[in-house]
Structure 1
Amino acid sequence: MRVVKGLRHLTPVAAAVALPLTLGLGSCASPNVCPAIAWSNSLTVSLDGAVESVGVVEFCVENTCSVPAPRPAPSASRIPGATPDADAVPSRSPQVATPSTSARTPSPFIASKADDRTWRFQLMMRTPERAVIRARSAEGQVLVEREVPLQWTRVGGSGQCGGPSTAAPVTLTV
């Protein structure tokens, strides 16, 4: 094997330069670095009373209210005899104007109806100390509204980097 003059010293020099760089970059993967991953926090609202009159439940902080979770588009191929999902969250009627429908930016609060008495809310990386919970009829009339304090408990992640939290359940009497 023929070595070009002057290059035989390159390999030891490259190793001498690469070793400290490798050791230094290895410290970048320390456990003190937080991953760049978002999470959502959750809250459950239980309804008592005349729940049959409730069309939607909203979670509001300041001038921002929840929006219904997006529903998948209907399939082009319908199954014979299939009926629409009766438990699906109804779309908001256009005549109902709330801060969440008039805002230009998407709401960070998503509402999902679990059953007639249970609503779940997802909050994108927010843990407000207080919120307004509001039940509306299908026509948009406010049936009941209550400001509630929220107590959050982290259920994942770490103290340093944060992580998903859940609030104590809220009960709303209609």
Structure 2
Amino acid sequence: MKTGRGILGIAVLLGAMLPASGCGTACPAIGYVSTIEVIVEGDTTAVHEVQMCTDEGCSAPEPTAGPAPSVIVSDQWVPLPNGGFSPAPGASIPPPTYPDAPFLSYKPSVGKWAFYPAATGNGTPDRITLRALADDGSVLSEQVNDLEWTKEDPFNPCGSPVTTPQIVFIVRER
């Protein structure tokens, strides 16, 4: 008889705790990167770089890997007992340094630029200013755009990536 009351007590306790613990959705820790794509049209012959500016500051080109240093395997790497190699003590190749900018940019193809958040901050701005820059950094053309962000899956309780339509940046003749 005691066993029956014990089981009943545990069932009542679990029933009371269930609403307190919540029956929410367990969401995975996924970070989404929102990329802003820009198509550059018009007089683009003098355009060296396209820059995107927000209230947080202006974008910078993403770092590019420099040429690989000439490495002598015996000086830079130590063979491991089970095969493979490990960096030798004291030998290091510095990683690329990232500029202090709210967004980084790259050029995926001719006439197209892409921007993504460099670090924490507002990766989905409501308003941006695009600048076409010449080799010397002078501004050739400027354009202000308001952005509208849309969730790819608005019914997903865990969130989903957001997108904004491509922007057409018309570079005017000077």
TM range (shorter): 0.5 to 0.7
Task: Give 1:160 deviation, angstroms.
Answer: 3.9
Partner of 1:149: 146
CA distance in 2, matches of 1:126, 1:63: 10
The superposition leaves residues 82-124 of structure 1 with CA deviations (integer Å, 9 ceiling, x where unpaired) of xxxxxxxxxxxxxxxxxxx7xxxx3231111112300011136
* 3-state SS, counterpart of residue 35 of structure 2: strand
Q: 1:115 aligned to 2:109?
A: yes
CA distance in 2, matches of 1:74, 1:157: 44
Whether the aligned pair in 2 keeps the contact of 1:51 and 1:116 (CA below 8 Å) is: no
**Which amino acid in structure 2 is aligned with residue 138 of structure 1?**
D
**Contiguous gaps of at least 5 residues in structure 2:** 1-5, 72-98
User: Under a length normalisation based on structure 1, what TM-score does the superposition of the two structures give?
Assistant: 0.60
CA distance in 2, matches of 1:158, 1:65: 33
Task: Give 1:142 deviation, angstroms.
Answer: 0.3
Partner of 1:7: none
Task: Give 1:163 deviation, angstroms.
Answer: 2.9
List aligned pairs for 1:1-174, cutoff 5 A. Answer: 30-31=24-25, 33-77=26-70, 106-123=100-117, 126-155=123-152, 159-174=156-171
User: How large is the RMSD of aligned CA atoms in angstroms?
Assistant: 3.3
**Contiguous gaps of at least 5 residues in structure 1:** 1-11, 79-100
User: Under a length normalisation based on structure 2, what TM-score does the superposition of the two structures give?
Assistant: 0.60
The superposition leaves residues 49-85 of structure 1 with CA deviations (integer Å, 9 ceiling, x where unpaired) of 222211111111114111111212321249xxxxxxx
CA distance in 2, matches of 1:157, 1:110: 27
| Alpha-carbon distance change, 158 to 118 in structure 1, aligned in 2, over 3 angstroms | same
Whether the aligned pair in 2 keeps the contact of 1:135 and 1:144 (CA below 8 Å) is: yes
CA distance in 1, matches of 2:154, 2:59: 25
| Alpha-carbon distance change, 50 to 152 in structure 1, aligned in 2, over 3 angstroms | same
* 3-state SS, counterpart of residue 106 of structure 2: strand
Partner of 1:94: none
Aligned residues: 133
CA distance in 2, matches of 1:121, 1:156: 22
Task: Give 1:134 deviation, angstroms.
Answer: 0.9
